[in-house]
Amino acid sequence: AIDDFDILPTTSPDEVRNHLRGDPGTEVQVKFLREGVGGKVNEPQTITLKRAVVHIPDVKYFGYVGDPRDGIGYIDLSGFANDAGREVRFAIKALQHGSELMAMKDGDAPKPNEDGLFVHDPTKLKGLVLDLRSNPGGLLTSAVDVATLFVPNGSDIVSAKGRGFPEILYRSKTDPLLSPNTRLAVLVNDQTASAAEIVSGAIQDLDVGVVVGK
């Protein structure tokens, strides 16, 4: 049960979700049965949970493909919420940091920057795979933020036009984070849509990477 709402075999997942959700900071009581808990008769247990805003990261995973010493990074980007650009930026810098660290000779003293990641030679990251498969998209501005990490400064990324407002051109205003010597591949499939298509399209049109898939 959720508070005074009894859950039956016919209760839909949407009903359960709607009763669990609420304003951040409010409390909800959940009553449940768990095998081996509550004595021999398995008496129902009740816990009180405090609701809070749950942040689901867009970067589900980042790491290396194969041997990390080969310097081939991988980023799984599943959406384009507000922090997508920041998360991809951190993933790229972490991969560059790791690649440079593994290429260092014994005795070299790394000097971390303000976020704790030293990146003096970004070319140590030899390649990067950006996985946009089954990415449904999200915010247009987040797509621009992510594309800016890869395309040259001053590049036109996308334009938006509607009946009620004039055409808006989104252009990169910063140097790309990825080194020109780092090979970039973008994975897509038939479920790559919206903002994800903007990023893959910009990377392909500006010839900074190859798009793999359909």
Q: pLDDT by residue (tens digit) across 181-200? A: 999 999 999 999 999 999 99
* Strands 59-64 and 72-77, sheet pairing: antiparallel
pLDDT value of position 164? 78
Residue 41 pLDDT greater than 70, yes or no = no
pLDDT value of position 109? 53
Beta bridge partners of 212: 187
pLDDT value of position 38? 62
Q: Which of 60, 96, 86 is nearest to 178 (CA)?
A: 96
Residue 115 pLDDT greater than 80, yes or no = no
Q: Band of the pLDDT at 119, cuts 50, 70, 90?
A: low
pLDDT value of position 200? 97
Token pair of 162 as six digits: 């509607």
pLDDT value of position 142? 97
pLDDT value of position 160? 87
Token pair of 85 as six digits: 């650009």
| Distance from C-alpha of 198 to C-alpha of 176, rounded to nearest angstrom | 17
Q: Band of the pLDDT at 116, cuts 50, 70, 90?
A: low
How large is the average pLDDT for residues 51-67? 93
More confident residue, 196 or 38: 196
Give the 3-state secondary structure percentages of the chain, helix then strand then coil, rounded to 5.
25, 25, 50
